[in-house]
Copies of this chain bind each other. A is one copy, B any other.
Amino acid sequence: MAVANAAVKIPLEIPVVEKRVRNRAATEQAILDAAKRLLAEEGFQNFGINAVARGAGCDKQLIYRYYGGLNGLVEAIGTDLGSWVTDRIPDDTGGMFLLTYGDLMERLSMLFLDALRADPLMRRIVAWEVSESSEQVRRLSEARSKALAGWIERMRGSLVPPKGVDAQAVNAMIFAAIQHIVLASAVSDQCAGLALKNGKDWEKAATALKRLVRGVYG
Protein backbone atom coordinates (compact mmCIF):
# COMPACT_ATOMS: atom_id res chain seq x y z
CA MET A 1 0.00 0.00 0.00
CA ALA A 2 0.95 3.61 -0.19
CA VAL A 3 3.23 2.66 -2.99
CA ALA A 4 4.71 4.73 -5.73
CA ASN A 5 2.80 7.01 -8.01
CA ALA A 6 1.90 9.21 -5.08
CA ALA A 7 2.31 12.36 -7.09
CA VAL A 8 -1.26 12.37 -8.31
CA LYS A 9 -3.55 14.85 -6.56
CA ILE A 10 -4.74 16.27 -9.84
CA PRO A 11 -6.56 19.43 -8.82
CA LEU A 12 -8.48 19.69 -12.03
CA GLU A 13 -11.34 21.27 -10.16
CA ILE A 14 -12.75 23.87 -12.44
CA PRO A 15 -14.10 26.54 -10.13
CA VAL A 16 -16.97 27.33 -12.43
CA VAL A 17 -19.41 26.95 -9.57
CA GLU A 18 -19.72 30.40 -8.12
CA LYS A 19 -17.72 30.73 -4.97
CA ARG A 20 -19.86 29.88 -2.02
CA VAL A 21 -20.24 33.00 0.02
CA ARG A 22 -19.75 33.07 3.72
CA ASN A 23 -23.27 33.75 4.83
CA ARG A 24 -24.94 31.67 7.47
CA ALA A 25 -28.45 33.04 7.08
CA ALA A 26 -28.41 32.45 3.34
CA THR A 27 -27.08 28.94 3.80
CA GLU A 28 -29.74 28.12 6.35
CA GLN A 29 -32.39 29.31 3.95
CA ALA A 30 -30.84 27.35 1.10
CA ILE A 31 -30.94 24.21 3.21
CA LEU A 32 -34.57 24.76 4.19
CA ASP A 33 -35.57 25.47 0.62
CA ALA A 34 -33.72 22.44 -0.66
CA ALA A 35 -35.41 20.27 1.94
CA LYS A 36 -38.88 21.47 1.01
CA ARG A 37 -38.16 21.19 -2.68
CA LEU A 38 -36.73 17.71 -2.29
CA LEU A 39 -39.64 16.56 -0.19
CA ALA A 40 -42.12 17.95 -2.68
CA GLU A 41 -40.45 16.58 -5.76
CA GLU A 42 -38.94 13.30 -4.66
CA GLY A 43 -41.13 12.38 -1.72
CA PHE A 44 -40.08 11.08 1.64
CA GLN A 45 -38.48 7.95 0.23
CA ASN A 46 -35.12 9.46 -0.56
CA PHE A 47 -35.35 12.21 1.97
CA GLY A 48 -32.11 12.15 3.93
CA ILE A 49 -29.21 14.18 5.14
CA ASN A 50 -27.07 13.51 2.12
CA ALA A 51 -29.82 14.26 -0.36
CA VAL A 52 -30.69 17.56 1.27
CA ALA A 53 -27.03 18.57 1.45
CA ARG A 54 -26.63 17.75 -2.23
CA GLY A 55 -29.74 19.73 -3.07
CA ALA A 56 -28.58 22.72 -1.08
CA GLY A 57 -25.11 22.51 -2.54
CA CYS A 58 -23.41 22.50 0.82
CA ASP A 59 -21.85 20.05 3.20
CA LYS A 60 -24.17 17.95 5.32
CA GLN A 61 -22.23 18.96 8.36
CA LEU A 62 -23.92 22.34 8.13
CA ILE A 63 -27.30 20.71 8.47
CA TYR A 64 -26.18 19.15 11.71
CA ARG A 65 -24.76 22.44 12.90
CA TYR A 66 -27.62 24.72 11.96
CA TYR A 67 -30.61 22.45 12.48
CA GLY A 68 -29.30 19.71 14.71
CA GLY A 69 -29.85 17.04 12.10
CA LEU A 70 -32.78 15.91 9.99
CA ASN A 71 -35.26 16.01 12.85
CA GLY A 72 -34.58 19.65 13.52
CA LEU A 73 -34.83 20.39 9.84
CA VAL A 74 -38.20 18.69 9.60
CA GLU A 75 -39.30 20.65 12.61
CA ALA A 76 -38.31 23.84 10.85
CA ILE A 77 -40.39 22.78 7.88
CA GLY A 78 -43.30 22.18 10.21
CA THR A 79 -42.93 25.67 11.62
CA ASP A 80 -43.10 27.08 8.14
CA LEU A 81 -46.16 24.99 7.45
CA GLY A 82 -48.51 27.21 9.39
CA SER A 83 -48.00 30.22 7.18
CA TRP A 84 -47.75 27.88 4.23
CA VAL A 85 -51.32 26.66 4.68
CA THR A 86 -52.80 30.09 5.14
CA ASP A 87 -50.87 31.27 2.12
CA ARG A 88 -52.21 28.65 -0.21
CA ILE A 89 -55.81 28.46 0.88
CA PRO A 90 -57.95 31.56 0.44
CA ASP A 91 -59.35 32.87 3.65
CA ASP A 92 -62.43 34.58 2.26
CA THR A 93 -65.65 33.24 0.92
CA GLY A 94 -64.89 34.13 -2.65
CA GLY A 95 -67.65 36.68 -2.77
CA MET A 96 -70.28 34.15 -1.86
CA PHE A 97 -72.70 34.41 0.97
CA LEU A 98 -72.56 31.27 2.99
CA LEU A 99 -76.06 31.01 4.38
CA THR A 100 -76.03 27.46 5.63
CA TYR A 101 -73.59 24.96 7.03
CA GLY A 102 -74.02 23.02 3.81
CA ASP A 103 -72.92 26.07 1.82
CA LEU A 104 -69.88 26.35 4.01
CA MET A 105 -68.81 22.75 3.76
CA GLU A 106 -69.32 22.66 0.03
CA ARG A 107 -67.10 25.67 -0.36
CA LEU A 108 -64.47 24.37 2.06
CA SER A 109 -64.36 21.06 0.25
CA MET A 110 -63.70 22.73 -3.06
CA LEU A 111 -61.07 25.04 -1.63
CA PHE A 112 -59.28 22.22 0.10
CA LEU A 113 -59.44 20.02 -2.99
CA ASP A 114 -57.91 22.69 -5.19
CA ALA A 115 -55.30 23.70 -2.65
CA LEU A 116 -54.14 20.16 -2.16
CA ARG A 117 -54.02 19.48 -5.87
CA ALA A 118 -51.86 22.53 -6.38
CA ASP A 119 -49.43 21.85 -3.58
CA PRO A 120 -46.95 19.00 -4.08
CA LEU A 121 -45.28 19.48 -0.73
CA MET A 122 -48.54 19.19 1.13
CA ARG A 123 -49.42 16.09 -0.84
CA ARG A 124 -46.14 14.45 0.06
CA ILE A 125 -46.66 15.24 3.69
CA VAL A 126 -50.12 13.71 3.66
CA ALA A 127 -48.73 10.62 1.96
CA TRP A 128 -46.03 10.50 4.57
CA GLU A 129 -48.61 10.74 7.31
CA VAL A 130 -50.41 7.61 6.21
CA SER A 131 -47.29 5.62 5.48
CA GLU A 132 -44.94 6.02 8.37
CA SER A 133 -45.22 6.54 12.07
CA SER A 134 -42.18 8.43 13.23
CA GLU A 135 -41.49 11.41 15.36
CA GLN A 136 -40.61 13.46 12.31
CA VAL A 137 -43.86 12.88 10.51
CA ARG A 138 -45.80 13.27 13.74
CA ARG A 139 -44.58 16.82 14.10
CA LEU A 140 -45.31 17.66 10.51
CA SER A 141 -48.75 16.15 10.78
CA GLU A 142 -49.49 18.10 13.91
CA ALA A 143 -48.47 21.39 12.37
CA ARG A 144 -50.54 20.68 9.30
CA SER A 145 -53.70 19.66 11.11
CA LYS A 146 -53.41 22.59 13.47
CA ALA A 147 -53.17 25.04 10.62
CA LEU A 148 -56.06 23.34 8.88
CA ALA A 149 -58.28 23.32 11.93
CA GLY A 150 -57.58 26.99 12.51
CA TRP A 151 -58.52 27.76 8.95
CA ILE A 152 -61.81 25.88 9.20
CA GLU A 153 -62.65 27.53 12.47
CA ARG A 154 -62.05 30.96 10.99
CA MET A 155 -64.20 30.18 7.98
CA ARG A 156 -67.00 28.70 10.02
CA GLY A 157 -68.01 31.93 11.61
CA SER A 158 -71.28 31.50 13.41
CA LEU A 159 -72.66 28.75 11.22
CA VAL A 160 -73.63 25.58 13.00
CA PRO A 161 -74.21 22.12 11.59
CA PRO A 162 -77.74 20.71 11.44
CA LYS A 163 -78.93 18.84 14.49
CA GLY A 164 -78.68 15.09 14.49
CA VAL A 165 -75.59 15.01 12.31
CA ASP A 166 -72.17 14.23 13.75
CA ALA A 167 -70.49 16.99 11.79
CA GLN A 168 -67.01 16.19 13.06
CA ALA A 169 -67.19 12.60 11.88
CA VAL A 170 -68.85 13.46 8.59
CA ASN A 171 -66.36 16.20 7.85
CA ALA A 172 -63.49 13.88 8.65
CA MET A 173 -64.88 11.49 6.03
CA ILE A 174 -65.16 14.23 3.46
CA PHE A 175 -61.66 15.49 4.02
CA ALA A 176 -60.36 11.96 4.06
CA ALA A 177 -61.95 11.34 0.69
CA ILE A 178 -60.42 14.50 -0.74
CA GLN A 179 -56.98 13.69 0.54
CA HIS A 180 -57.11 10.17 -0.76
CA ILE A 181 -58.26 10.90 -4.26
CA VAL A 182 -55.71 13.68 -4.63
CA LEU A 183 -52.93 11.39 -3.45
CA ALA A 184 -54.08 8.58 -5.69
CA SER A 185 -54.38 10.85 -8.70
CA ALA A 186 -50.86 12.18 -8.21
CA VAL A 187 -49.52 8.65 -8.41
CA SER A 188 -51.71 6.75 -10.82
CA ASP A 189 -54.14 9.22 -12.42
CA GLN A 190 -57.08 7.31 -11.04
CA CYS A 191 -58.74 6.18 -7.87
CA ALA A 192 -61.01 3.18 -7.38
CA GLY A 193 -61.65 2.98 -11.09
CA LEU A 194 -62.40 6.68 -11.47
CA ALA A 195 -60.09 8.42 -13.91
CA LEU A 196 -58.49 11.60 -12.60
CA LYS A 197 -56.48 13.03 -15.43
CA ASN A 198 -57.98 16.01 -17.20
CA GLY A 199 -60.17 18.82 -15.97
CA LYS A 200 -63.31 17.00 -17.02
CA ASP A 201 -62.47 14.10 -14.73
CA TRP A 202 -61.92 16.46 -11.86
CA GLU A 203 -65.21 18.18 -12.50
CA LYS A 204 -66.94 14.87 -12.14
CA ALA A 205 -65.10 14.24 -8.92
CA ALA A 206 -65.98 17.69 -7.61
CA THR A 207 -69.61 17.18 -8.51
CA ALA A 208 -69.71 13.88 -6.70
CA LEU A 209 -68.09 15.48 -3.70
CA LYS A 210 -70.60 18.30 -3.62
CA ARG A 211 -73.40 15.82 -3.95
CA LEU A 212 -72.13 13.95 -0.93
CA VAL A 213 -71.88 17.14 1.08
CA ARG A 214 -75.34 18.25 0.05
CA GLY A 215 -76.68 14.81 0.81
CA VAL A 216 -75.82 15.07 4.47
CA TYR A 217 -76.10 18.79 5.05
CA GLY A 218 -78.89 19.62 2.66
> Which of B141, B214, B216 is close to A211, meaning CB atoms less than 8 Å apart?
B216
Cα A193 to Cα B147 in complex, Å, equals: 12
Cα A172 to Cα B180 in complex, Å, equals: 10
Shortest beta-carbon distance from A78 to chain B in Å: 15
A91 CB within 8 Å of chain B: no
Are B176 and A181 touching (Cβ within 8 A)? yes
Identical chains in the assembly: 2
Interface flags, A156-167, vs B, CB<8A=1, else 0: 000000000110
Main secondary structure of the interface of A (DSSP, over half): helix
Are B133 and A131 touching (Cβ within 8 A)? no
Are B187 and A132 touching (Cβ within 8 A)? yes
> Which of B169, B171, B194, B207 is close to A204, meaning CB atoms less than 8 Å apart?
B169
Are B181 and A172 touching (Cβ within 8 A)? yes
Cα A59 to Cα B103 in complex, Å, equals: 61
> Which of B145, B177, B193 is close to A193, meaning CB atoms less than 8 Å apart?
B145
Are A212 and B212 touching (Cβ within 8 A)? yes
Are A173 and B127 touching (Cβ within 8 A)? no
